[in-house]
Structure 1
């Protein structure tokens, strides 16, 4: 297959900048400011998307993101993560840790993004960026990358067959997001006529997790603070540890609430654990809150606790970088509860949504695995697009 230097099929390769004033100029509304944590492979993470005002955006107009741009992380632990800009995010600017790659008509940007996340290219980028004290990808490195450049029709066909899987993933995520909004609305309506109770008055357990002894395989899953974000639990950053021989109460149960309890920027993040099919625990940087089902409906109380996330963040004690959340302060917070007569039905509705959300996310894992399996042979020419289409049709 024909190889071409990336600089020959792009009109822009360049990183962004930090707005004057840094994080102090972030606003609730305004132009999106994309940072490295917003760029994942094949998708964007929008729950921590910063915003800047018109003045800051104008000062950064040289790093304006356009529809179809490829975003590539170029520094730090997330280096070489790559996705396409989502048009719903526009207008947008990027930080100095993210490069904008804008293609000519000779290169389909959707296809290029797949090239950059293809394992052989990903491994090359990671090896190239290893600079000792600080990993970095420079404009020169990116410009001189040799990338496969088949006819534009073939590029589009590859992009579209893989894109069909991503479209289904996005549709499922949208369904989960709508369900989460419905859950909050149902709880809010019920809790208006309810009561307030201290967390420690309706909880049977408020405790930190364990100090894990990590293993490479044949262990027990242990969650860390990276697993708790956007009021969801993500298993991908989890590790394996020696199975628990004691402290079995720290094995998670359905409807436990996990609260990040150390560190600046992560402390206070909370999420409900909604599974019962896995044996999982958490490390000592996370607090487990388990509600007593004799005193309250645990799923309902869990949603009530999630409402308190900003209050929990304000409870941090200690210096920057060493902040801690005390269990007694967490337990003293008051949460809203639905009236007892409404809790059973509300809890049933919440669990029904939890089951649906789990099914959709499980399907997304399967779709993503299919996409990742198809990518290398499509890029190498080992399979034809028509063969990939049959595989996609079977799972979408």
Structure 2
């Protein structure tokens, strides 16, 4: 039986929080618009933060009608459906926000928002998984949230725990912002090439890239494997992969660009540039993407910016074929796509600009992966009282 640390208390979330409620539940399709008040859904919440690459918006008038699900700084939001339990805190600086199908916790005077978010993302995972309901699409309901057991330190220690973990997350956020700036510079410089414009002398895409090129089989039992769902939608570099037993699948190497070729992944913009493998290592992945490899004298990074351009996306979706549940883009159709022919000197100049920025992105990604691993190792020990804040601070000081 777990011992409660001295000075800590045990309480139900519903007893200690000011309010535990749920975001709007109901049809929303007719209410979305291009701009307005940010409207969060399950896919916008990730542990400790937000993914706003596909965020929706609603009108200020509709937002005013949904007063119950209106969000303010300090509210803690938890995913109910999809990946139940992922939790984040609404930050300062958001002028207005609303949500659907999220558990909303408004902490009381003895509960720190950031501490609660870290708590739910860590030790409460088992609690949530044991209380999911629904036969097909499971969800975590508000009643179960109110019954969540908290092992609660003093407000001072809650804030100290949140501060030491937050230092790691703040560095992760700063790195992401820096990476976003680098990616914007790369995209702007790519636009100057005018490779994807619809005028000038034309060249088939296959003149620049090999599609689904052959390479050796991985010679290990558990090679790096990249599932279709691990391809990013808003970042250049692939950042989520695993080693697992795999005998077949598409093969790729560093410098390759991977493009999802099925709906809805293609429509959602899933693509990524590979640079995380050891030298000479070959990886496996889903057969449902097309692998692009630059030909000699063509910058390795070029394919990513081409396949994520709006013109290419529009053309690709128009070439989807198939009558069953999923439609697919064929490599043959991609090979026939045309781009503006650009001379080799211009391409080389672009590559000299792009290469160091992509290398910087890789360093930022690797650092964030390390920081997240440290945070996730400290988190349950701090939440249980096994590790004291002063000892965790020493660990954090050594990496920041």
TM-score (norm 2): 0.86
| Of 32, 35, 41, the match for 2:38 | 32
Which structure 2 segments of 5+ residues have no match? 1-7
Distance in 2 between residues matched to 1:257 and 1:195, nearest whole Å: 25
> Quick one: which of 57, 77, 90 aligns to 2:63?
57
The change in CA–CA distance for 1:53 and 1:141 in structure 2 (over 3 A counts) is same
Separation of aligned partners in 2, 1:11 and 1:208: 60
Q: Quick one: distance in 1 between partners of 2:238 and 2:15? A: 39
Query: Deviations along 1:202-242, whole A, 9 cap, x unmatched?
Result: 22224799xx9xxxx94112222212222445453656233
Match of residue 300 from structure 2: 298
Aligned ranges 1:119-130 → 2 under 5 Å: 120-129=123-132
CA contact (8 A) 1:300 1:338 kept: no
1:271 aligns with 2:272: yes
Asked if 1:385 corresponds to 2:389, the answer is yes
Q: CA deviation at 1:67?
A: 0.5
Distance (whole Å) between structure 2 residues aligned to residue 297 and residue 107 of structure 1: 52
CA distance in 2, matches of 1:150, 1:235: 35
Q: What pairs with 1:304-343 in structure 2 (closer than 5 Å)?
A: 304-307=306-309, 308-319=312-323, 321-336=325-340, 338-343=342-347
| 1:7 alignment partner in structure 2 | 14
Give the Å deviation of 1:305: 2.7
> Residues 64 and 204 from structure 1, CA distance in 2 versus in 1: closer, same or farther, beyond 3 angstroms?
same
> Which residue of 2 is the match for residue 152 of structure 1?
155
SS at match of 2:252: coil
Which runs of structure 2 are paired with 1:1-396 in the superposition (5 Å)?
1-17=8-24, 20=27, 22-76=28-82, 78-96=83-101, 98-118=102-122, 120-129=123-132, 132-191=135-194, 196-206=202-212, 218-228=221-231, 229-236=233-240, 238=242, 240-243=244-247, 250-267=250-267, 268-277=269-278, 278-294=281-297, 296-307=298-309, 308-319=312-323, 321-336=325-340, 338-396=342-400
Provide the aligned C-alpha RMSD in A.
Answer: 2.8
Whole-Å separation in 1 of the counterparts to 2:29 and 2:319: 21
Give the superposition deviation at 1:379: 1.4
Post-superposition offset of 1:196 = 4.8
Q: Distance in 1 between matches of 2:315 and 2:67?
A: 36
Distance in structure 1 (CA, Å) of the matches to 2:94 and 2:282 = 38
Contact 2:210 2:293 in 1 (8 A): yes
- Residues 336-380 of structure 1: CA deviation (Å, up to 9, x unaligned): 565421221321221211111111111111111111111122112
Deviation at 1:18, TM superposition (A): 5.1
- Separation of aligned partners in 2, 1:265 and 1:36: 17
User: Using the alignment, how far apart are the partners of 1:89 and 1:252 within structure 2?
Assistant: 41
Q: Is the 8 A contact 1:304 1:337 kept in 2?
A: no
Q: Secondary structure at the match of 1:350?
A: helix
Matches of 1:219 and 1:331 in 2, distance apart? 32
Q: Is the 8 A contact 1:226 1:237 kept in 2?
A: no
For the residue of structure 2 that corresponds to 1:48, the secondary structure is coil
Task: Give the SS at the match of 1:251.
Answer: strand
CA distance in 1, matches of 2:341, 2:104: 47
Q: Deviations over 1:111-164 (max 9, x none)?
A: 11111112x321121112255444222211111212122211111111001000
C-alpha separation between the residues in 1 aligned to 2:139 and 2:304? 42
SS at match of 1:293: coil
CA contact (8 A) 2:259 2:307 kept: no
Task: Check the 8 A contact 2:225/2:246 in 1, yes or no.
Answer: no
| Corresponding pairs, count | 382
1:242 counterpart SS class: coil
Is the partner of 2:171 in helix, strand or coil? helix
- Distance of 2:282 and 2:95 partners within structure 1: 41
Equivalent-residue separation in structure 1 for 2:341 and 2:23 (angstroms): 46
Deviates more, 1:164-173 or 1:57-66: 57-66
Displacement of 1:53: 2.7
Q: Retained in 2: the 8 A contact 1:208–1:288? A: no
- Please state whether the residue corresponding to 1:47 is helix, strand or coil: coil
Label 1:255 to 1:195 Cα distance change in 2 as closer, same or farther (>3 A): farther
TM-score by length of 1: 0.87
